[in-house]
Amino acid sequence: MTTPSPRPDNAGPDRDDPKDQQLEPARVDLTDTRLTTQQGVRVDHTDDSVTVGERGPTLLEDFHAREKITHFDHERIPERVVHARGAGAYGHFQPYDDWLAEYTAARFLTDPARRTPVFVRFSTVAGSRGSADTVRDVRGFATKFYTDEGNYDLVGNNMPVFFIQDGIKFPDFVHAVKPEPHNEIPQAQSAHDTLWDFVAMQPETMHMMMWLMSDRALPRSYRMMQGFGVHTFRLVNARGQGTFVKFHWKPLLGVHSLVWDETQKIAGKDPDYNRRDLWEAIESGQYPEYELGVQLVPESDEFAFDFDLLDATKIIPEEQVPVRPVGRMTLTRNPDNFFAETEQVAFHTANVVPGIDFTNDPLLQARNFSYLDTQLIRLGGPNFAQIPVNRPVAPVTNNQRDGYHQHAIHQGRTSYVKNSLGGGCPAATGEFPEVFSHYQEKVEGHKIRRRSESFKDHYSQATLFWNSMADVERDHIVAAFRFELGKVGERAVRQAVVEHLNQVDHELATRVAAGIGVPAPDQPARPNHGRSSPALSQLNTAMDSVLSRKVAVLVADGVDGTAARKVVDALRGHGAVPEVLAPTDGQVRSATGEDLMADRAINTMASVLYDGVVVAGGAESVQALAADGYAVHFVAEAVKHAKPVAALDAGVDLLTTAGVRGVDLAAGDGVLTCDQGVVTARTNGVVPPDFVTELVSALARHRAWERDTAAIPA
């Protein structure tokens, strides 16, 4: 009942693409097999060790027990030093047309007939492998394109800027945001003294802190967040000419977020919330889709902006340089084994193919060192590119030899170039763009350790972000700063951050100060430039789809089953995922003769796990729900979180019981209302078409921000 059917226009699960074919021999299916040791020797007993007599000591010669335990002892590898918690999926990327060929020789971006296999890993940054998904954090969005010319990795985030400008500060930043070293508290939280102390001492963080305090840090789904390459990269065309580029991923479902109270509760109710969402969407054929877009800047315009293109704490506003669509990525297949694939996938910013190159962004330059380096400790040696998920579909032919876990059996005497004994192979020949050739940028200068003057405006774009937010987004940002700084014990640190906020915007600083017990600045530190970029507001995102939105339909014995089923079917018809919840699991007796099966018991779930709630009609059912604290809280909490809530007939009374105030509710027979995302109808068991239409449109808008929820206790 909860599994929507695959969309007919979808391209299928990529079961036979070149990457999948390559993975096939590595897959192990244990169906109809017999138990063996690692050496392939069959054993019939694995419950008891070999001992001397029934109660005597275990024998060293029990190779099976020793092998089993030894393997177990070595099952863990170091988790990623950042981005430890993640979830991954396979899919493909296909360009729309060839327009980008004027700028890049990378065929996977320009040949519309090419469908390139991909593996994507989404992640949080600060938490450990076992931490909750829904924490306030940046999300990683790393894509490995298995192109015919070798692997290209776009290792991005869901925010377009970064905390620091130079990679040498990365260890400092990560040490500050991770749990504090003396007691390893707090886990996966930025709300603690060391992070904010770092921020106060390093004002280049301010722009990114605005993003981190915004709703972008609380994505509803990995399928509903943007991705950004962050750095300015370089495209190089077949003639060797360069163009600066910023990469953008845009989710087709729009950019939607949770609210803070909700995220904290989900962290307990379902710590795997985002991971599960991705998995379930793919399993049910609701394949996540993202459009790749580029912002292009000719090299002649390198200095045309009031910020430095090499500074990763800056965006290029979309209104200044439009994002031009390139192609679409669809994720169609869950991995077979989390460890083998999602844990062992190794991304590297320096995995580039002909047509894509670097710039001198000092953050990018450091990353180009760090990612290869980290895989050596994480995956235990230099042969990690041979792990199935990491292997390119392009042939790998070189003289790199030996090392831990070498899987290839290289033949022949020669393992050096140049050689004559091996026929001169592998031959280092070819011309760009057949071979990768580093972009020939002219560079000269003195060796210095100094930040460029052009990197020193840390506030203007933080102001741009603030100016671009809708009122509700600003309220959330202020609340987030208050929450985070409110957890900081050192008042001097709180005060110092407020001084930086005053550089961003006086009203912001004043509002934050008012909530954290430090004096507000008397006057602005600098005038607000007044510029904004509408593309930055999530309220301007796509709001035309309810695909895969989860809706709880609350019922109990005595429900109007016919009407409830109509609503469920109608929601499913729109691509949403309705689930019937009752006080107890199993069969629900209907007052109208059509019994329903509950998908789940209400107390095993929570409203925070749904995008909307419907209370079905039926006087007896509603009475039972009103007497069930879980059910009443369920509705109240959904209202609190500004979610679409709907009720039919007697169900409307449950909204009143749950504390809905100041909203127009259907008061008498034949009335249908839709106010602030609350849809109600009293129509004696008939489900008016408008009831469903209004509910669907409220779900597509995601939240009814106009609803005043301050006084609702939930």
Residues that bind ligand HDE (CB under 6 A): 80-83, 86, 121, 123, 140, 142, 155-157, 162, 167, 170, 230, 312, 345, 347, 363, 366-367, 370-371, 374
Report d(CA 360, CA 137) in Å as an integer.
27
Question: Helix count (H) and strand count (E) of the chain?
Answer: 17, 19
3-state secondary structure of 326: strand
Cα-trace Rg, the chain: 28
Where helices occur in 236-292 by DSSP H, the ranges are 260-269, 273-283
Smallest Cα–Cα separation from 503: which of 468, 529, 480?
A: 529
- How many other CB atoms are found less than 10 A from the CB of residue 486? 13
3-state secondary structure of 503: helix
Phi, psi of 392 (to 5 degrees): -70, 155
Burial 107-126 (b: 16+ CB within 10 A, else e): bbbbbeebbbbbbbbbbbbb
CB contact set of 327 (below 8 Å; sequence gap of 6+) = 93, 94, 95, 96, 109, 112, 291, 292
Of the residues 64, 151, 157, 390, only one is catalytic, namely 157
Smallest Cα–Cα separation from 394: which of 65, 93, 101, 22?
A: 22
Which DSSP string corresponds to 584-598?
SSEEE-BTTS--EEE
Report d(CA 684, CA 618) in Å as an integer.
9
Smallest Cα–Cα separation from 679: which of 551, 591, 556?
A: 551
3-state secondary structure of 576: coil
* Residue 642 contacts residue 703 (beta carbons within 8 Å): yes
* Residue 49 contacts residue 36 (beta carbons within 8 Å): no
Q: Binding-site residues, please?
A: 80, 121, 170, 367, 371, 378
* Residue 501 contacts residue 515 (beta carbons within 8 Å): no
Smallest Cα–Cα separation from 670: which of 680, 660, 661?
A: 680
Question: Would you call 500 a catalytic residue per the annotation?
Answer: no
* Residue 157 contacts residue 167 (beta carbons within 8 Å): no
Closest CB to ligand HDE among 84 and 547?
Answer: 84
Q: What is the torsion angle, in degrees rounded to the nearest 10, for the CA atoms of residue 429, residue 430, residue 434 and residue 439?
A: 90
* Residue 344 contacts residue 76 (beta carbons within 8 Å): no
Closest CB to ligand HDE among 229 and 578?
Answer: 229
* Residue 357 contacts residue 438 (beta carbons within 8 Å): yes
Q: Which two tokens stand for residue 24?
A: 């096939």
Report d(CA 222, CA 256) in Å as an integer.
10
Kindly report the CA angle at 451 between 448 and 455, in degrees rounded to 5? 145
Smallest Cα–Cα separation from 512: which of 545, 483, 551, 487?
A: 483
The DSSP output letter for 380 is T
Q: SS in 3 state form for 184-196?
A: CECCCCCCCHHHH
Pair type for strands 233-236 and 242-251: antiparallel
3-state secondary structure of 245: strand
Smallest Cα–Cα separation from 705: which of 545, 575, 552, 538?
A: 538
Question: Would you call 157 a catalytic residue per the annotation?
Answer: yes
Instruction: Answer positive or negative: Cα dihedral of 508, 514, 518, 519.
Output: positive
Report d(CA 216, CA 318) in Å as an integer.
17
Residues forming the active site: 83, 157
